[in-house]
Amino acid sequence: MEELGDFLKSRRSRLSPADVGARTYGERRRVPGLRREELAQLAGVSVAYYTRLEQGLSRNASDGVLDALAGALRLDADETDHLRALARPARAKAAPRPRTERARPGIRTLLAAIGDAPAVLIGYRNDVLAWNRMGHALLFGHLPFDGPDQPAGRPNWIKLIFCDPHMRELYVDWKTKAQDAVAYLRLASGQHPDDCRIAALIGDLSVNSPEFAKLWTGHSVRQCRSSVRDLRHPLVGGLALNEEIMELVQDAGQRVVIYSADPDSSAGAALRLLAGITAEQARPLQAQRRELGTV
């Protein structure tokens, strides 16, 4: 329950008394943000009860209390979901999840059918589970094409963002991409509090990336959202692409990320150029497979 206390404290600290109309009578404060007493009053709970909740000593917070705290802290929908997951870890643990994530054959077929639109399948741990040829060429061309097919050594998108020089160069606004990645990982860790691989990923990044460690202490939580990403590709140059996120209902936590550009835009021309380069590079391999009788 330490995570719950840290999250509540981080959200208290970002609100000032003036934000909620509380009078300070000019006194100087030792710490920023609301005091426990002020937040408890806003939420309509006793100071003693809120203190126990923040200290991890209360595990039975009602929906009404959590909603009241979310309102008092001005949490958005993602932050409220995170609060509920942290306050009720037993319920989060009850959610079924596979021990090893896999890409269903139907999703692999979908990725291939998308054709010249780059597409990637990401798991709830942010492991890359599958990609089509354009998805690989756009984002991961420096990695082996069969990388996602090796469960023990799959690339992890968040780890690549922080530890791979290619990915740092690829994203023009790397800082925003890094913030988004950490906020999603924080959300996932609350939904899967006993997942040892997520815990190991967080520990690894905290040790090996000072930037990750700093962002992690901010306790930002945010679901993945569609956006426009500016990329700096080593083969086709700069391009601004629509990044669309589609969550898979049947495969909890998995999401397909698809990139597209307006047909008449420079980004669209760059994607077509990349598709041509990718097709040209694939021809020798296809010829070799024909000779071996594997296609």
Structure tokens at 142: 């420096």
46, exposed or middle or buried, with CB in 10 Å at 0-12, 13-18, 19+? Answer: exposed
- Angstrom CA distances, 80 to 69, 113, 120, 246, 286, stand at 9, 37, 28, 21, 50
Structure tokens at 128: 């890359």
pLDDT of residue 57: 79
Determine the topology of domain 2-94 in CATH. Answer: 434 Repressor (Amino-terminal Domain) (1.10.260)
Q: What is the 3-state secondary structure (H, E, C) of the chain?
A: CHHHHHHHHHHHHCCCHHHHCCCCCCCCCCCCCCCHHHHHHHHCCCHHHHHHHHCCCCCCCCHHHHHHHHHHHCCCHHHHHHHHHHHCHHHHHHCCCCCCCCCCHHHHHHHHHCCCCCEEEECCCCEEEEECHHHHHHHCCCCCCCHHHCHHHCCEHHHHHHHCHHHHHHECCHHHHHHHHHHHHHHHHHHCCCCHHHHHHHHHHHHHCHHHHHHHCCCCCCCCCCEEEEEEECCCEEEEEEEEEEECCCCCCCEEEEEECCCCCHHHHHHHHHHHHHHHHHHHHHHHHHHHCCC
pLDDT of residue 224: 83
pLDDT of residue 98: 47
Beta bridge partners of 260: 242
Distance CA 164, CA 157 (A): 10
Could you list the mean pLDDT of each consecutive 10-residue stretch along the chain, which spans 295 residues?
Answer: 85 81 60 83 90 82 89 91 82 53 94 93 96 96 93 92 96 96 93 89 95 94 90 96 93 93 92 92 59 54
Place of tokens 């000032």: 16
pLDDT of residue 56: 78
Q: What phi and psi values does residue 151 have, to the nearest 5 degrees?
A: -55, -35
Which of 55, 71, 67 lies closest to 7 in space, CA to CA? Answer: 55
pLDDT of residue 293: 57
The rounded Cα 179 to chain-centroid distance in angstroms is 9
Distance CA 176, CA 90 (A): 33
pLDDT of residue 288: 53
Distance CA 95, CA 79 (A): 19
Q: Where in the chain is the domain with CATH 3.30.450.180?
A: 105-292
Mean pLDDT of the chain: 87
Q: What is the pLDDT of residues 110-141, one digit of tens each?
A: 999 998 899 999 999 999 999 999 999 999 99
Which of 153, 156, 108, 149 lies closest to 132 in space, CA to CA? Answer: 108
Q: What phi and psi values does residue 247 have, to the nearest 5 degrees?
A: -80, 140
Enter the pTM of the model.
0.81
Which of 51, 25, 18 lies closest to 36 in space, CA to CA? Answer: 51
pLDDT of residue 28: 64
pLDDT of residue 145: 93
Structural class in CATH, domain 105-292: alpha beta
pLDDT of residue 285: 54
pLDDT of residue 108: 95
